[in-house]
Amino acid sequence: MVEVEGTVQRSEKAQRGVELLPSRVTVISRAEVPLPLGVIDKVGAELDTRFNHRVIDLRKPSVRAIFELRSALLAGFRSAFLSRDFIEIETPKLLREGAEGGATLFPVDYFETRAYLAQSPQLYKQMLMSAGFERVFEIAPAWRAEPSDTVRHLTEFTSLDLEVAYPEGADGLRTILEEVLVDALRSTHQELAARKNPLASNIPDVRTPFPRIPFARAEEWLGRPGAEQDFGSEDEKAIGARVQNDFGVPFYYLIDYPTAVKSHTFYAQRQDGNPRATWYCDLDFRGWEIASGGLREHRIDRLRENFVAAGLDPERFGGYLEAFRYGMPPHGGFGFGVDRLITLLAGLSNIREARLFPRDRYRLDP
């Protein structure tokens, strides 16, 4: 690394139209040679090589552009939420119980007992509904102990969560999410364009409302009506292609998820007129699930029934249920995968590229 002082003057021969005539050059620190990967050349490197030497990889302008996008997008989300009277919250990341069962929890030694890294802020943001915090959001890390080695999954990821009391039904909740997303995308485009970031052109100009595709219709598209099986990655790609063909839009909701598919999600509200279906949905973008949520069960007696149906002991969730004993308003919300959205907006081949220092099944360093 060097520090150079001199005179800047115009030059037709220089690539940027100017050149520096140095009068003093100071060596600040020396770099080992050769570098483990190129910074300014176009020679590619394996993903593991890039992550093993991540600091050097991050020097590339094309990589920096990804994190300028990330910064602008998160700022856009915050602005969109705050303009709608949401409060930003911070919930605990060390928990006694997980929000989505124990199979994907990371255990942690916590003094004389066992704790777990948070899969999501789900239980706490619901508890705040009872406290009168009627519109909240959080942007924070979360962890899933899934032994997945796909381009869509991470062990440590950033989750954007929102919760709303007294939503105007399931569709009113969806409207809030899609309008926040559209505002965030527009401000992201403006910020990147001002920075002359090449990824500005990747930000889609989308309109609301997004299409609502019933789960049953998507099953028919896949040729398996009534199967009530959750969609895998290839299913999601096929559905995304169908939506693009029929509606010409990148964002869409998959609504009315069957209770059988969401049986592990004890807080998902079942439809009173059709208990085989929930008020839950996914928000997908070009064949990738990027958000999931819906109306929550606010009635404590039915919530206890859902615990039992999911094979969970309600007594182990005493702190959570306490909030429901003294008045819980109707409410709902979403968990949103920030890293997945950035992966798609930046045109990346692997979600690990969307994080500065990714963590997966095999990587704990650097």
What is the residue type of 104?
T
Q: Is the pTM of this model over 0.95?
A: no
Among residues 298, 331, 340, 355, the one annotated as catalytic is: 340
Q: What is the pLDDT of residue 235?
A: 96
**For the chain, the helix, strand and coil percentages under 3-state DSSP, each to the nearest 5:** 35, 25, 40
Instruction: Identify the burial level of 205 via C-beta atoms within 10 angstroms of its C-beta, where 0-12 means exposed, 13-18 middle and 19 or more buried.
Output: exposed
Burial of residue 201 (number of CB atoms within 10 Å: 0-12, 13-18, 19+)? exposed
Question: Distance between CA atoms of 123 and 320, rounded to whole angstroms?
Answer: 6
**Are the C-beta atoms of residues 250 and 286 closer than 8 Å to each other?**
yes
Token digits of residue 44: 């590619």
Q: What is the pLDDT of residue 34?
A: 84
How many residues in total does the chain contain? 366
The pLDDT of residue 101: 59
Give the per-residue pLDDT at 99.
66
Two tokens, residue 254: 């998959």
- 201 among known catalytic residues: no
144 is catalytic: yes
Helix (H, G, I), strand (E, B) or coil at 199: helix
User: Does 219 participate in catalysis according to the annotation?
Assistant: no
Q: At 175, list the tokens.
A: 């409207």
The C-alpha R_g of the chain, in whole angstroms, comes to 24
> Quick one: pLDDT at residue 104?
84
Q: What is the pLDDT of residue 346?
A: 98
Lookup: tokens for 93: 């990341």
Residue labelled with tokens 């963590």: 359
pLDDT tens, N- to C-terminus, the chain (366 residues): 889 999 999 988 887 788 888 999 999 998 888 888 877 766 678 899 999 999 999 999 999 999 999 999 999 999 999 999 999 999 999 998 776 656 689 999 999 999 999 999 999 999 999 999 999 999 999 999 988 789 999 999 999 999 999 999 999 999 999 999 999 999 999 999 999 999 999 999 999 999 999 999 999 999 999 999 999 999 999 999 999 999 999 999 999 999 999 888 899 999 999 999 999 999 999 999 999 999 999 999 999 999 998 888 888 888 899 999 999 999 999 999 999 999 999 999 999 999 999 999 999 999
Q: Is 299 noted as a catalytic residue in this protein?
A: no
pLDDT 10s digits, 41-75: 666 788 999 999 999 999 999 999 999 999 999 99
Annotation marks residue 146 as catalytic: yes
Given the residues 146, 179, 228, 305, select the one marked as catalytic.
146
Residue 188 · residue 72 · CB < 8 Å: yes
Q: What is the DSSP string of 138-157?
A: EEEEEE------STT--SEE
Among candidate residues 53, 54, 96, 152, the one labeled active-site is 152
Catalytic residue from among 50, 70, 153, 270: 153
CATH number listed for the domain at residues 65-354: 3.30.930.10
Catalytic residue among 144, 296, 298, 355: 144
- 287 three-class SS: coil
Distance CA 323, CA 142 (A): 23
Q: Is there a catalytic annotation at residue 220?
A: no
Distance of CA 207 to the CA centre of its chain: 20
pLDDT of amino acid 242? 97
Structure tokens, 255? 């609504």
Residue boundaries of the structural domains of the chain = 65-354
Q: Pick from 131, 98, 138: which is nearest to 114 by CA?
A: 98
What does the pLDDT read at residue 119?
Answer: 93
Does 296 participate in catalysis according to the annotation?
no
